[in-house]
Structure 1
Amino acid sequence: MNDNTPHLPNDPREAAAYWFARVHSGRFTLAEKQQFGQWREADSRHEHEYRAIDEIWQAASLIAEDELRELLEAPQSHGGSRPRLSRRQWIAGGAAACAAALVAGVGLPRALTGSPSFEAEYATVAGEQRSETLPDGSVLELNTRSRIVVRYYDDQRRVELLEGEVMFSVAHNARQPFLVDAGPASVRVTGTQFNVRRDAAQVDVAVQSGSVEVTSGQWWNRHTATLTASQRTHVQPGELAAVEDTDIAALTAWRQGKVVFKEQPLERVIHEMNRYLASPIRLADSRLKGLSMTGVFNIRDADSFLQALRTTLPVAVRLRADGGADLALLR
């Protein structure tokens, strides 16, 4: 392809959706037509994914026009009315919306995704950790307060990380890539060990061995980073941080029931410990945020952690009836 070729998503299905939207946009140029043909011929998966989307589109022609209009028409704003468009205009105008829905994987017909050959949901509560071995031998280690959905298809293995943290040890299978969807971030591998943590709108990815590809952003404006052993990045909506080196052993010490802090702000330390505690520790004095802490602690021994606070920092600990504790600065 020439230098004017658009930056396509790496995933064949997402790239197919991009080309589908361009073909039906009404602004498909001769240069794009040539690039599109080259893309389809470059890999059999490209042709397969594009045909799958096109079959869905052809099926839309069987829907009554008034029903199709209800599906495609956006809600009217400010009380205005839309001009009545022909069927051809409605179909062409809805191409991008259809493609975006296909990429998002929301409500995809069986003709595109097929039924999963394996499906399961796993979860942990506060302080709980569990390990699950999947049908292909891949192992998932779930940290505290985590929830995932696993689905295996013929052409891919997909995990949706709804919340929490998971260490993935993925069995190698180049023909069936392993995909992790974690809100604003997605991770693609064939076989490796890596850790993914999802806290609200932020996702952290770190690699122990092998390599992974992390992507974020909308399908038409993807940002991608490749991580190898002892590297990490984090993702927020619309932002993919630079790749950096990391201490993967310290980051995944939770697998041995430990947490490691190296000059961490006390507020961050308490937030981390609270992930494992049924009753939280609270900072009752905002001045405590300026303190920092270093140490290795057992995630199941809150009493030892509180004792360490008393001996290393100017902190008063007041135990509550619910089993938690409030921290104040010693006067």
Structure 2
Amino acid sequence: MHTENTTTPDDIQDAAAYWFARVHSGNFTVAERERFMAWRSANPKHEQEYRALDQIWQATGMLPEDELRALLEVPESSAQKRVGRRQWLVGAGAVCAAAVVGGVAVHHYGVLDATTDVLQYATAQGEQRKVQLPDSSVIEMNVNTELTVQYYASRRVIALAQGEATFEVVSNSERPFIVDAGDTSVRVTGTVFNVRREPDRVAVAVQSGSVEVTTGRWWSRDEAMLTADMVAEVQANRSLYVERADVGVLTAWRQGKVVFRDQPLDDVVREMNRYLRHPIHLTDSRLKPLRMAGVFNIQDAEGFLQALQTHLPVVVVQRPDGSVNLALLR
């Protein structure tokens, strides 16, 4: 059991290493979190040093597992020499050891090279956007999407915070293109693929070329190689499922369409609400299992509502705020 230490090292580098170890320890307390946030905000150098360690930690995910495990087995005396002033990391268990190894990973992959470009993009409710990156790769963003693009000497990294995007990647075997969506990572050199990140799942669909999908922590990662017309879905518990699918249907949003194939009305309405300016609400739980099929324009709320009334026993009730209630026809 962890006994809370109320003393933080005076040296900024040592303090950053100490806090990094505690954050990733698995038993970080509420009181510690308050002290940690206070320490980070007390001095810009604190934040800078902590972020540097976090970048090293992220780099460990790029090392092959066998290399990472071999590095973790270095005798303690050698590890201490390697760490130097970051001795706090050695004494904090395997999590901290991984961060130490990250220092080797950073050197090996050239991650310490200055970032040449950092770009941020976002779309709002109902907004779609297409951007061309410095290497001529193209990102087509769906609604409610946030992502950050970072270019390094040895890799191109996109952090997908939320939403959905299709990536048309210009091939460069010396500079792989990586999309990070939480614990799920997609690695390619040149291809066209779609990534959708929701709070409880991440879905990757390949239109052409191939991608490598990995998920989970570095010590227990699942991975799958996808080619055209293959989809991988990662659930909240990090379970990885792969199947063949019609990627054109999944990415119909790029043509302003959404396709439903005999799906529950609950799912249909939830999907349409991603695009509609005014949301649709189901007022009766008996509506949820009703089935719906069709191809709809994502901007045509009226056409969609008309189709619902034509094919299902529902009544559309317009509300003063513009939203719509669906009730069961009696």
Matched residue type, 2:256? G
Aligned to 1:96: 94
Residue 61 (1) aligns with residue 79 (2): no
Provide closer, same or farther for how the CA distance between residues 139 and 232 of structure 1 changes in structure 2, counting only shifts above 3 A: same
Moved over 2 A (4+): 9-20, 57-60, 93-105, 108-115, 237-242
Q: Work out which of the residue numbers 60, 65, 72 in structure 2 matches 1:21.
A: 72
SS in 2 for 1:243: strand
CA contact (8 A) 2:111 2:152 kept: no
Measured after TM superposition, the shift of residue 10 of structure 1 is: 8.7
Provide closer, same or farther for how the CA distance between residues 104 and 140 of structure 1 changes in structure 2, counting only shifts above 3 A: farther
Residue 175 (1) aligns with residue 180 (2): no
Aligned to 2:317: 318
CA contact (8 A) 1:231 1:245 kept: yes
Equivalent-residue separation in structure 2 for 1:181 and 1:197 (angstroms)? 11
Aligned to 1:146: 145
Measured after TM superposition, the shift of residue 243 of structure 1 is: 1.7
Equivalent-residue separation in structure 2 for 1:203 and 1:144 (angstroms)? 16
Provide closer, same or farther for how the CA distance between residues 180 and 12 of structure 1 changes in structure 2, counting only shifts above 3 A: same
Matched residue type, 1:253? A
5+ residue gaps, structure 1, are 1-8, 29-53, 73-90
CA contact (8 A) 2:208 2:227 kept: yes
SS in 1 for 2:98: helix
Provide closer, same or farther for how the CA distance between residues 15 and 322 of structure 1 changes in structure 2, counting only shifts above 3 A: farther
Equivalent-residue separation in structure 2 for 1:130 and 1:258 (angstroms)? 15
Aligned to 1:124: 123
SS in 1 for 2:293: strand
CA contact (8 A) 2:184 2:234 kept: yes
State the Cα deviation string for residues 58-87 of structure 1 (Å, max 9, x = none): 574246xxxx54xx4xxxxxxxxxxxxxxx
CA contact (8 A) 2:215 2:240 kept: no
Equivalent-residue separation in structure 2 for 1:162 and 1:295 (angstroms)? 30
Instruction: Give the TM-score, by structure 2 length.
Output: 0.75
Equivalent-residue separation in structure 1 for 2:277 and 2:75 (angstroms)? 54
Structure 1 segment 105-120 matched on structure 2, within 5 A: 112-120=111-119
Equivalent-residue separation in structure 2 for 1:62 and 1:191 (angstroms)? 41
Measured after TM superposition, the shift of residue 320 of structure 1 is: 1.2
CA contact (8 A) 2:177 2:189 kept: yes
Aligned to 1:275: 274
Aligned to 1:259: 258
Measured after TM superposition, the shift of residue 284 of structure 1 is: 0.5
Measured after TM superposition, the shift of residue 216 of structure 1 is: 0.7
Residue 12 (1) aligns with residue 63 (2): yes
How large is the Cα RMSD of the aligned pairs? 2.7
Equivalent-residue separation in structure 2 for 1:289 and 1:195 (angstroms)? 28
Aligned to 1:222: 221
Aligned to 2:45: none
State the Cα deviation string for residues 181-215 of structure 1 (Å, max 9, x = none): 00131100000000000011300000000000111
Q: Which range is displaced more, 238-247 or 277-286?
A: 238-247
Equivalent-residue separation in structure 2 for 1:10 and 1:184 (angstroms)? 10
Aligned to 1:298: 297
Matched residue type, 2:149? V
Equivalent-residue separation in structure 1 for 2:101 and 2:314 (angstroms)? 51
SS in 1 for 2:271: helix
Instruction: Give the TM-score, by structure 1 length.
Output: 0.74
Measured after TM superposition, the shift of residue 15 of structure 1 is: 5.2
Matched residue type, 1:203? V
Aligned to 2:32: none
Matched residue type, 2:142? N
Measured after TM superposition, the shift of residue 119 of structure 1 is: 0.7
Measured after TM superposition, the shift of residue 144 of structure 1 is: 0.4
Measured after TM superposition, the shift of residue 25 of structure 1 is: 6.1
Matched residue type, 2:96? C
CA contact (8 A) 2:111 2:153 kept: no
State the Cα deviation string for residues 122-151 of structure 1 (Å, max 9, x = none): 000011000010011100000000000000
CA contact (8 A) 1:266 1:288 kept: yes
Matched residue type, 2:253? W
